[in-house]
Amino acid sequence: MKLIKNARIITMDPQRRTFDQGAIAIKGSRIVAVGESATLEKEYRDAEIIDAKGMLVIPGLINAHTHLYQILYKGLGDDASLSNWLKKCVYPMSLVLRGKDCYDATMLTAVEMIKGGSTTYVDCHYMNRDLECQDYIAEATKVSGLRGVMGRGTIDSAPAPEELRESIPQAVAECERVIKTYHGTLDGRLSVRVEALNEKLASTEMLRAMRGVANDFGVGINMHIAEASERVKETQERFGMTSIEYAHSLGILGPDALLAHCCWLSEHDKQLLADTHTSVAHNPVSNQYLSDGVAPIPELIKMGVNVTAGPDGACSNNNQNMFDVMKSAALLHKVHYLDPEIMTAAMVFEMVTINAAKAIGMEKDLGSLEVGKYADLAIIDLEQPCMIPCFNPLSNLVYSATPDVVNSTMIHGEMLMRDRELLHIDEKETLAKASATSWDLARRAGLA
Ligand SMILES: [Zn+2]
């Protein structure tokens, strides 16, 4: 039993309760009480005490869209459009990417995420020249203590290099293997979703096949869609439909679907997303980095679409810093719509907590600090320079904070960082190994 006491708390529960002198009791992996510190201290006398005086406790941030492997490619794809970025950086590096490299990528991401108060990743891995990539990602998730939603992705169409394309039977068989091996394992800390990457690099048959796998196993489905305007134009030319209409015609949309990007949407597309209860993963930093466009997020939210957010891979961002994501998500829409009220700190914080949990079908377990949910949380130091003064903690979190303000991070009831020190990972060794692996990959790809 653990008791975090004397904390300011933002619960994100349905009443949006906050506490000035709050406490959270944790038994095993779950929260058993949230309330006033004075009351819970009496109730849980024997608990291991974590004194959070001067600190703020928030639900762990959910990184709702990333590509773990891309952290090794950081800095090689600057100043290019989406299609050129794939050509000059992502394809050449991925042709030499091996499963064991994905272990180092996931461990490096784990260090950055845990030190930045992020507790869950939602990955998409579609570079399957080495079919063991998923196994190494799973192993690193186990070792690091992170909560993971592995995305078993696939591509089968030009202009992706032949070597990176999968046949439909292989993709289906591998998805089934990964789901059977890892979905719901690590005491519920690891789960699996499937994905045919997007409307360009996956065929109609592959998109249908992945929807079939998702239905057969009751796992969610992800897709990248309407990211760059040329993708939507091409889809219109090939199928006589917008990208969203095309995905809808294949049965992709639905409450278990999480669509990344959605930058280029017609009015009908927005209505389809709302009507089908499809979730959207907004990637404001990546969309700026690749000059994709501005997703009409405030309009989607107004129509009732569940919107979450992520950094995207760390070679179109170029980090896994959720504070950057939050700030960009707010500022991008304020300037795009020339309306300072269109996106507030409160709306953005919902995206990376409760909305994200709902998007991955885990709203009963994650996204807020409530009794019965997993103890995934971050303890924020309010005595750091960028957090002073703290009139409004939510404002400071979105507009002022950097990852350095995260004092401690807990996942699944386990303290993974305490007073900025990682307790389960050898940080120095992990960083050195990831750096060496990146250089080795770049040399083999001819990009070093
Ligand atoms: Zn992506």
The contacts of residue 285 (CB under 8 Å, 6+ apart) are 311, 312, 317, 324, 325, 328
Question: Residue 213 has what pLDDT?
Answer: 98
| 22 CA distance to ligand 1 middle (Å) | 38
| 124 CA distance to ligand 1 middle (Å) | 7
Average pLDDT over residues 2-19: 98
Average pLDDT over residues 406-416: 98
Query: How many angstroms separate the CA atoms of 288 and 189, rounded?
Result: 32
| 67 CA distance to ligand 1 middle (Å) | 6
The residue written with tokens 């949990």 in the block is 357
Query: How many angstroms separate the CA atoms of 221 and 250, rounded?
Result: 13
Q: How confident is the model at residue 203 (pLDDT cuts 50, 70, 90)?
A: very high
pLDDT at 448 over 90: no
Burial string for 74-108 (b: 16+ CB within 10 Å, else e) reads bebbeebebeebbebbbbbbbebbbbebbbbbbbb
Average pLDDT over residues 207-223: 98
Question: Residue 281 has what pLDDT?
Answer: 98
Among 392, 310, 287, 307, which Cα is nearest to 350's? 307
| 198 CA distance to ligand 1 middle (Å) | 10
Query: How many angstroms separate the CA atoms of 395 and 330, rounded?
Result: 11
| 12 CA distance to ligand 1 middle (Å) | 27
| 34 CA distance to ligand 1 middle (Å) | 36
Average pLDDT over residues 402-409: 98
Question: Residue 211 has what pLDDT?
Answer: 98
Residues 1/25, Cβ–Cβ less than 8 Å: yes
Among 264, 309, 241, 316, which Cα is nearest to 83's? 316
| 66 CA distance to ligand 1 middle (Å) | 6
Model pTM score:
0.97
Question: Residue 131 has what pLDDT?
Answer: 97
| 165 CA distance to ligand 1 middle (Å) | 17
Average pLDDT over residues 33-41: 98
| 223 CA distance to ligand 1 middle (Å) | 9
* Amino acid at site 53: K
pLDDT at 279 over 90: yes
Q: Looking at beta carbons, which pairs linking 266-273 to residues 24 or more positions away fall under 8 Å?
A: 266/242, 268/242, 268/244, 269/226, 269/242, 269/243, 269/244, 269/245, 270/296, 270/299, 270/300, 270/303, 270/305, 271/303, 272/244, 272/245, 272/248, 273/244, 273/300, 273/303, 273/305
Average pLDDT value for the chain: 98
Residue ranges per structural domain of the chain: 2-59+368-422, 61-359
| 65 CA distance to ligand 1 middle (Å) | 6
Does the CA dihedral 129-290-317-436 come out positive or negative? Answer: positive
Average pLDDT over residues 332-348: 98
pLDDT at 267 over 90: yes
Q: How confident is the model at residue 137 (pLDDT cuts 50, 70, 90)?
A: very high
The residue written with tokens 């377990």 in the block is 365
CATH architecture of 61-359: Alpha-Beta Barrel (3.20)
| 405 CA distance to ligand 1 middle (Å) | 27
The contacts of residue 169 (CB under 8 Å, 6+ apart) are none
CATH of domain 2-59+368-422: 2.30.40.10
